[in-house]
Structure 1
């Protein structure tokens, strides 16, 4: 058709259309919680209206409250299209009908079970009365097998193992695995395919090649590391850079920056960043950290990159979107993206996709039509990448992994259809939210009703049965703890399949094992690193204690907004120390006027929070600071009420340090608090902001938490009470054990009651002291001579341990814990 000289409208891409919809929503309602999601739904609804030829007047006549709002948005969108002389991609056929278009040749429609009203109208006009030819291929199925599996993963593994076996027997067969939930379960299915068909890629660093299978589902561009890493680098333009983005850049293989930084240096930089515990960092701070870590090349490269980053000021810098994209591309080139290694077939396609994303984003310039700021430009690029779907090109393969729609019209020798349970087949209806349901039923719009979905599923099922010689149908009999049955659209097969092996293919790699349980050389005459914390971890697992306290292996802290649990614990200990330095004893506490006591507490808390923020180099926003001060004041005032209810006492040791020898070990000890009671005996107090368990002091002849027992051993006969001060919100109390004749608050139990289940049970506190000394001395004597092995005392120790990547206990014994 010759369009020369005609008034041809501008064709909008899908991304440009979404931008227009967002403009409509922004102009009509700024209070929407998810305007982008709503814009995608509006785009989908208008597509249905065009495809099913629903006039606006007919829509208005059947409108309900939700539809009326949609009509307002739709009319505003239509006005924008007319003003800018634009049409959307799905309107092209509708516009062509207004032109003198004719098709004189024969048209054959291959496997078109039904046409939309727009498609029917287009063919009627284009063919000028000539009837199209509908062509359908058929095979008669000879065998139908049905099987059920415990869950979806077992089902997918069985199907994939079956396909591999079939192809090993006859590589010329055409095999299909059909999964109705392919898009939702894509990552899981791809992982199982990889393990089954290419297990060697899980254990080597060889380049990936096209796999021996084709998957019809596409990925969002941001799911590819080479794309997401490029976007992460561009976040360096932000004033506050997310720590996760920095982590990806440091460890990415697609930049030249980290090439000069070995894994140890990158890890040290990452640890410096995470030690700040802030979720964001500024580029100037990052450059300073690289300098401190001695990464000269990385420091210089980041400094050079920072010269291209726009300087922030009160007056926002405005440029065209194209100019911003040009800057972003320069920054990627400066950083050496996509690296200097040879790209494999996957990476090459993904790197080429980046230019398509940049071009698509640049096309938004014609819709925006005004200068924008840096943040807006980065957001447009991020959204374009997220909304760009890409299907990796692979070699032709006899195995196809398909969704339901992609399987229509294709012939195979054998098919395995997954997910054929009664909950998912027929699918549940999903009517459009903006078109009245009666109108959707009248127009026969897909997914509008249960009846429509039943007919659709029947039609698809009949096609499968007529397109294949041998069909295998499976379903998972449980899903989220609910029982599932076979879809009623399938009769029981000729044979009931036995459960196929569902374990992934084993990967056999030659490995060299070296058993090295020798100790790191330590000077046993010096204090043991970690003190009582080492003892506690050693009792739980020897390897954990050595890894954490001797080899200093620690998981980097997670960035948080405000203060985390560790910060709050440190801060509360500090405030309690300062508070009792001023109050000193219970008598002084009782003499305080309540208002003056609150003023003392509030002033002290405010000063110590500010001090902690400075010393720890943690930024605490005014809002979070005020909330933390209020929280701490509430905790302290409630706790002081408990202290008032106790018999008289005086605080004599407050966050004091001392050394203590037990067995062959010397421990550095720091008491939280030691109280002197009215009779002259001592009480050990240990502050806790988390869970407390007195039974951990003595349980089946073992001491699982030695901290308080060790504190008690330091003073031997003088100590008559040991207690946890539980400062946990909603659960504040003094809990512990005391000698039988000591007068103390009732939540502290006598020895005979606290450990009554122990055999033999200590009869008084002195016997408890002697028992603690005996048990802990044996542990201390063993430490220098025992091998360093991962020997967790219970599964809970492993579940709560951050050393798993180091000790690999989970890999060696996956059933542990």
Structure 2
């Protein structure tokens, strides 16, 4: 701690002695002043000293209560904790008959409790007629009446009423007060606290306000492009300042720290090239429920719902905080892949299915034990009993895992145990509850409790606005000083009459109040360090910003004058280092035993699109994880449609039968085929009844439209459905299934490939790298008999054939080869030869293991490719 930091509170400690209590607005300032006192004492000859009485105002009030409650109050009321008070308010709103339409009960209860604190702090009479002017304020009057009656009947006392109750009892002399009270760091004191300290003065205690003083302070203002560059420049400035002044204390105040905490931490870690908390420390905690360990615990307890989303199950399968997570890590990954592949959106884990038992037997056993424990638990219990049940259930699931916890995780586990203890205290204000209600309160406690793992003191402190107020530094930077953010907009509480809030100058009650408060806080920041920078941004999203009027009088600081050293982001460093080592390994030949390569003609398609993509997906099996979707995925719909058409033509056999069939008989046939196809292609638990009904109707209409088109064709008969064949190209033998082979009136064959999509282009069959080589490949399997190839586009928007033929076939959508521009005036035999040459070349590339990162069209091929991080295509471009 530097001398300037110590001297800023000289006047304060000159008035301090063993009979003095020093009160602050928050714990951070109290901790800081304890450290200042200790450092001052170390400069004295004495080697020991008494611990100073320095604490936050709220803690002092609670201490007065604890010291005097038994002597002063008969009978002694129970002082409610914050969580107990939350529960009482939520219960009152829940049982209010006029709140039946209230959608967000917990959030409304929080706002009502906030209004109650303001009512008490500013000594409003909630029974006043002004509270009847709006439905919201009338509701607050009703709730407040109920709350005060409940507290009186139950002998409860909440923190909002504590100062006035203490002030009342001070006159009896039973409350011991110090000789002197010093107040520091308070921007303002509400009337309730002013009355309390007036009573202290009446009882002979001296109460004095003392704030830090800095004789000289250098202030500047700086504008930056946007918030990202503002925080980045702030971090660079903090590092440079620390490098030049290793003993200095540096404050970095970020107005939106509660919303941008994670990004701020990321930027500071990148600039300081470390996450070492000995260099910088972020004081703002985040809610316990956002810590992975606590979040996992809460998600695990949600297993009681039995049916969980696939995303939730996937999260749990990858969590390290469950028993045997490391032992079954690969097995749980495979189980996750299996679940995604089957497109199951909701999973019931109360009865582990065969897949869970097969892949992860230890997890299955833990789940079984978990649900047995729940089954043996009473449906209604006290909060204390539920806390034990929660702990026991998590223990059965192996929480928090077997691996060693780091310091932050260990502290988080301690916070979890504290949270369960806090849950037990709700028994004082609520009766027995069920599992869902108990878990709701636990989730709320975790969400409202802010936590920051303890770390060593650091020279650079990253703080929010209010916690930074009154803290002295050697160097200070305050961000967010633009005209839209500073002063802040008024946010009057909806449960207190706006006129009262405005007339009494209550917090956030009016624009005038916000201006005055921000003026005071700005002046306080100017006195917080010898060197202060206020910064603002030029824009927020698309909104242009200017400097706040509260800092316009300050001289401008130029960015270049800060002389910050150059900075490279981690991404830039990695990119620049790409020239350090270069190794081209782009051929991985297939061994002789692998000549029958699985994957079929899709291999040729992938090789044409990008050789590396073909290698990664077919040889490395680097395929994207499936994303579960409600209902049927596009692929599932396509498979179901294929199956319907296969079953239809297995029955019909030829066009003559189709033409002779009565409409009613045909509709019945279509209905049977749809039912059989859905039963075969979709899991029985996968779709609900209403969805199935809609899907059947859609398929029936689509198939009817398609068969109407088939009736208009020249006579044909179906030779094969889903015909399985093998064909050798070069060194590879590929196995494929042809959707359908028709015999046309010439006696030759028309090969049909069903498509449920509508982006089917003939030009994808041509060129040195055809994007859709499937039908050209099929044509090669019987070159003497195939007279044409075509897509059968069975799509709601347009049912049509799209194909080419050796000669005119009188089928709409199928053109003679001579009419197709891409054919380059080749005859049918010549085109077949050209296709064989192209596809054999692709086959040879696959056999030789050609795996170049060479997308045919980066703008198209790479757009939806999942392999960018593996092939590192982006590093090929500056």
* CA distance 1:252–1:157, change in 2 (3 Å): same
* Correspondence for 2:406: 344
Contact 2:612 2:854 in 1 (8 A): yes
* CA distance 1:84–1:538, change in 2 (3 Å): farther
Q: Pairwise mapping of residues 59-458 of structure 1 onto structure 2 (< 5 A)? A: 60-61=130-131, 63-100=133-170, 103=177, 105-128=179-202, 132-139=207-214, 140-149=216-225, 151-199=226-274, 210-261=277-328, 263-283=329-349, 286=352, 288-289=354-355, 291-293=357-359, 304-305=369-370, 307-310=372-375, 317-370=379-432, 372-458=433-519
* Correspondence for 1:775: 838
* Correspondence for 1:206: none
2:764 aligns with one of 680, 694, 697: 697
- Residue 565 of structure 1, CA deviation: 2.8
Q: How many angstroms apart in 1 are the aligned matches of 2:811 and 2:154?
A: 80
Q: How many angstroms apart in 2 are the aligned matches of 1:449 and 1:118?
A: 20
Q: Deviations over 1:596-654 (max 9, x none)?
A: 544433343234323434xx465333343334333333433444444455555544332
2:862 aligns with one of 795, 798, 802: 798
* CA distance 1:170–1:612, change in 2 (3 Å): same
Q: How many angstroms apart in 2 are the aligned matches of 1:746 and 1:446?
A: 75
SS in 2 for 1:433: coil
Q: How many angstroms apart in 1 are the aligned matches of 2:153 and 2:430?
A: 14
* CA distance 1:512–1:767, change in 2 (3 Å): closer
SS in 2 for 1:222: helix
Contact 1:537 1:544 in 2 (8 A): yes
* Correspondence for 1:537: 606
Q: How many angstroms apart in 2 are the aligned matches of 1:74 and 1:650?
A: 83
- Residue 180 of structure 1, CA deviation: 1.0
- Residue 353 of structure 1, CA deviation: 0.3
* Correspondence for 1:734: 800
Q: How many angstroms apart in 1 are the aligned matches of 2:114 and 2:757?
A: 50
* CA distance 1:66–1:348, change in 2 (3 Å): same
Matched, 1:554 2:626: no
Q: How many angstroms apart in 2 are the aligned matches of 1:126 and 1:642?
A: 95
Matched, 1:461 2:522: yes
- Residue 377 of structure 1, CA deviation: 3.2
Contact 1:682 1:720 in 2 (8 A): yes
Q: Deviations over 1:711-731 (max 9, x none)?
A: 3333446555544444455x3
- Residue 553 of structure 1, CA deviation: 3.1
Q: How many angstroms apart in 2 are the aligned matches of 1:82 and 1:646?
A: 88
Q: How many angstroms apart in 1 are the aligned matches of 2:577 and 2:436?
A: 48
Contact 1:734 1:748 in 2 (8 A): no
Matched, 1:15 2:91: no
Contact 1:45 1:432 in 2 (8 A): yes
* CA distance 1:368–1:650, change in 2 (3 Å): farther
* CA distance 1:746–1:254, change in 2 (3 Å): same
Q: How many angstroms apart in 2 are the aligned matches of 1:447 and 1:325?
A: 38
TM-score (norm 2): 0.81
* Correspondence for 2:548: 487
- Residue 814 of structure 1, CA deviation: 8.6
* CA distance 1:726–1:266, change in 2 (3 Å): same
SS in 2 for 1:566: helix
Q: Pairwise mapping of residues 653-692 of structure 1 onto structure 2 (< 5 A)? A: 653-678=720-745, 680=747, 682-690=749-757, 692=759
- Residue 586 of structure 1, CA deviation: 4.5
SS in 1 for 2:681: helix
- Residue 311 of structure 1, CA deviation: 6.4
Q: How many angstroms apart in 2 are the aligned matches of 1:727 and 1:75?
A: 68
SS in 2 for 1:380: helix
- Residue 750 of structure 1, CA deviation: 6.2
Q: How many angstroms apart in 2 are the aligned matches of 1:46 and 1:753?
A: 82
* Correspondence for 2:875: 813
Contact 2:491 2:509 in 1 (8 A): yes
Q: How many angstroms apart in 2 are the aligned matches of 1:732 and 1:665?
A: 37
* CA distance 1:768–1:55, change in 2 (3 Å): farther
Q: Pairwise mapping of residues 479-518 of structure 1 onto structure 2 (< 5 A)? A: 479-491=540-552, 493-498=555-560, 503-504=568-569, 506=573, 517=586
- Residue 395 of structure 1, CA deviation: 1.3
Q: How many angstroms apart in 1 are the aligned matches of 2:537 and 2:839?
A: 53
SS in 2 for 1:632: helix
Q: How many angstroms apart in 1 are the aligned matches of 2:125 and 2:327?
A: 63
Q: How many angstroms apart in 2 are the aligned matches of 1:641 and 1:541?
A: 40
TM-score (norm 1): 0.86
Q: How many angstroms apart in 1 are the aligned matches of 2:279 and 2:473?
A: 17
Q: How many angstroms apart in 1 are the aligned matches of 2:685 and 2:618?
A: 25
* CA distance 1:582–1:6, change in 2 (3 Å): same
Q: What RMSD over aligned residues (CA atoms) do the two structures have, in Å?
A: 3.6
- Residue 64 of structure 1, CA deviation: 2.0
Q: How many angstroms apart in 1 are the aligned matches of 2:850 and 2:353?
A: 43
- Residue 177 of structure 1, CA deviation: 1.4
* CA distance 1:591–1:305, change in 2 (3 Å): same
- Residue 388 of structure 1, CA deviation: 2.1
* CA distance 1:143–1:25, change in 2 (3 Å): closer
Q: After TM superposition, where is structure 1 displaced by more than 6 Å over at least 4 residues in a row?
A: 507-515
- Residue 512 of structure 1, CA deviation: 9.6
SS in 1 for 2:257: coil
Contact 2:238 2:460 in 1 (8 A): yes
How many residue pairs get aligned? The number is 793
* CA distance 1:358–1:765, change in 2 (3 Å): farther
Contact 2:615 2:849 in 1 (8 A): no
Contact 1:721 1:736 in 2 (8 A): no
Contact 2:255 2:464 in 1 (8 A): yes
Q: How many angstroms apart in 2 are the aligned matches of 1:579 and 1:775?
A: 35
* CA distance 1:659–1:340, change in 2 (3 Å): closer
- Residue 305 of structure 1, CA deviation: 4.9
Q: Pairwise mapping of residues 548-697 of structure 1 onto structure 2 (< 5 A)? A: 548-613=617-682, 616=683, 618-644=685-711, 649-678=716-745, 680=747, 682-690=749-757, 692-694=759-761, 697=764
Q: Which runs of 5+ in 2 are unaligned?
A: 1-63
